[in-house]
Amino acid sequence: MDGAGRLARSLRSLGPQADLKAAAIGAVVLLRERLGRRRVRARPALDRAPPNRLILALERYLPHRAGITLTVLMLLGSAGFGIVKGGHVDELTQALSDTRNALANSAGFRITTVAINGRKQLSQDEVLAIGGVNGRSSLLFLDAATVRDKLKANPWIADATILKLYPGRLQINITERSAFALWQEDGRLSVIADDGAVLEPYVSRRFVTLPLVVGKGADVRAKDFLALLDRYPQVRAVTKAAIFVGERRWNLRLKDGLDVRLPENDVGNALAALSKLDKEDKLFSRDIVAIDMRLPDRLTVQLSEDAAKAREELFKDKKTKKKAGDA
């Protein structure tokens, strides 16, 4: 039967038509896509002001990433200003120093041995504290000049030398001042050296035997005067205090309360005469309260109240007896 043949011919005849139809559909799809793209309205561009000339110049001539660098610098500057304004400079410096020393210590430059020579009044811990040396210090970053300056700033230390012996030994040689006298001014009592430097407030009984000088300027003039007084041990032995009066001359306060007013000039001769009077006439043992030697040609003695009354009564008795004899 021809049915099968007709079916075969029908399929063969539809092949080209199907291809044309598929091509037409594809063309339509492409055309729609293009027309659709053209119909999409472009977004309007933002209205921007023309860039500043300075900005254009910076963008043109500054190196790459300069903006980031400037930003970092601004942040660092702001942080630095905050540290200074907040008063944290010392804390930051100390933290950086501790970090640096910690690295050096871990590398083998820790101070393991400290030798201090020449100390008498100050302890080892006091010397180290004055010099700023502590358990965190490293020998590598220890500034010997700074330590020496700190030590010399202390009144007890006249001079110092610092030796760094690597890897971990520190040697400090100091020359101490000696306590020379006690100085009193305006009610304050201090221990002074022979050059007048105030060593410390008088709080320790170990200085109780030092000579006492009193008055403004007595601290720097005490060395010469006490050296002169030492030449007359009879006077020095009974002297309790040397008082500098008006920054011009000295008075002596003896242990029994007797005041000796010395002249401004020729003090040595006055002390020699005073010593001679005591040896020959027991002057210091008499009932007197003051001896005035300020005038070069005379010596004036002030009696105590009891001695003055006794002397007055003695004169009265003499006058009475004289009148009775005349009668």
Using alpha carbons, list the distances in angstroms from residue 126 to 101, 119, 123, 175, 282: 22, 10, 5, 14, 50
Positive or negative, the CA dihedral 115, 119, 123, 129 is negative
pLDDT band at 205 (very low <50, low <70, confident <90, very high): confident
Positive or negative, the CA dihedral 277, 281, 283, 285 is positive
Residue 6 has pLDDT above 50, yes or no: no
User: What pLDDT shows up at residue 114?
Assistant: 95
Give the pair of three-digit tokens for residue 272. Answer: 């020699």
Least confident of 95-109, 227-241, 251-265: 95-109
Looking at residues 224-234, what average pLDDT do you find? 96
Q: Pick the residue with more confidence: 208 or 307? A: 208
Dist. CA 262–CA 292, nearest whole Å = 7
What's the gap between Cα 16 and its chain centre?
107
Share of the chain above pLDDT 70, in %: 65
User: What pLDDT shows up at residue 111?
Assistant: 94
User: What pLDDT shows up at residue 280?
Assistant: 92
Q: Pick the residue with more confidence: 44 or 204? A: 204
Looking at residues 35-56, what average pLDDT do you find? 56
User: What pLDDT shows up at residue 285?
Assistant: 87
- Sequence-distant (≥ 6) Cβ neighbours of residue 276 within 8 angstroms: none
User: What pLDDT shows up at residue 267?
Assistant: 95
Q: Answer for the pair 212, 252: CB distance below 8 angstroms, yes or no.
A: no
User: What pLDDT shows up at residue 11?
Assistant: 38
Give the pair of three-digit tokens for residue 303. Answer: 């009696």
Dist. CA 278–CA 285, nearest whole Å = 8
Give 101-147 pLDDT, tens digit per residue: 889 888 999 999 999 999 998 999 999 999 999 989 999 999 999 99
Whether the bond between 167 and the residue before it is cis, its omega within 30 degrees of 0, is yes
Q: Pick the residue with more confidence: 145 or 308? A: 145
Q: Answer for the pair 178, 167: CB distance below 8 angstroms, yes or no.
A: no
Dist. CA 123–CA 157, nearest whole Å = 12
Dist. CA 282–CA 275, nearest whole Å = 10
Residue 13 has pLDDT above 50, yes or no: no
Using alpha carbons, list the distances in angstroms from residue 109 to 127, 143, 172: 21, 14, 17
Beta-strand (E) ranges in the chain? 113-117, 157-165, 169-176, 181-185, 188-192, 198-201, 212-214, 239-245, 249-254, 259-261, 288-292, 300-303
Listed residue (238, 294, 226) closest to 265, CA to CA: 294
Share of the chain above pLDDT 90, in %: 53
Give 52-86 pLDDT, tens digit per residue: 676 666 566 666 555 566 666 666 666 666 656 66
pLDDT band at 278 (very low <50, low <70, confident <90, very high): very high
Give the pair of three-digit tokens for residue 277. Answer: 């009077």
Query: Which phi and psi (to 5°) does residue 129 adopt?
Result: -65, -40
Residue 318 has pLDDT above 60, yes or no: no
Listed residue (186, 188, 192, 201) closest to 226, CA to CA: 192
- Helical residues (DSSP H) of 138-257, grouped into ranges: 144-152, 218-229, 233-236
